Amino acid sequence: MDLSYYVCPKCGKRFSDEEMEFVRCSYCGGKVLFKETPPLAKKVRTD
Ligand SMILES: [Zn+2]
């Protein structure tokens, strides 16, 4: 699964890969940057 997303540094709005059709933020018109979700979601085994 691709967990990467886009974020607008101006207003802090986040866009998922599906929502992000344009390079610009649809809220403030700022340039949206590509970001990747840090590998925090480690699966913990409980056995
Ligand atoms: Zn914005």
Task: Give residue 17's pLDDT.
Answer: 74
Interval between CA 43 and ligand 1 midpoint (Å): 33
Interval between CA 47 and ligand 1 midpoint (Å): 45
How far apart CA 27 and CA 2 sit, in angstroms, is 24
pTM over 0.75: no
Tens of pLDDT, residue by residue over 1-47, are: 567 788 888 998 888 877 766 678 888 988 887 777 667 667 778 87
Query: If you count them, how many residues does the chain have?
Result: 47
Structure token pair of residue 46: 């409980």
Interval between CA 40 and ligand 1 midpoint (Å): 26
Interval between CA 15 and ligand 1 midpoint (Å): 10
Structure token pair of residue 24: 């610009």
Which sequence spans correspond to the domains of the chain? 1-37
According to the 3-state scheme, what is the secondary structure of 1-47?
CCCCEEECCCCCCEEECCCCCCCECCCCCCECEEECCCCCCCCCCCC
Task: Give residue 28's pLDDT.
Answer: 93
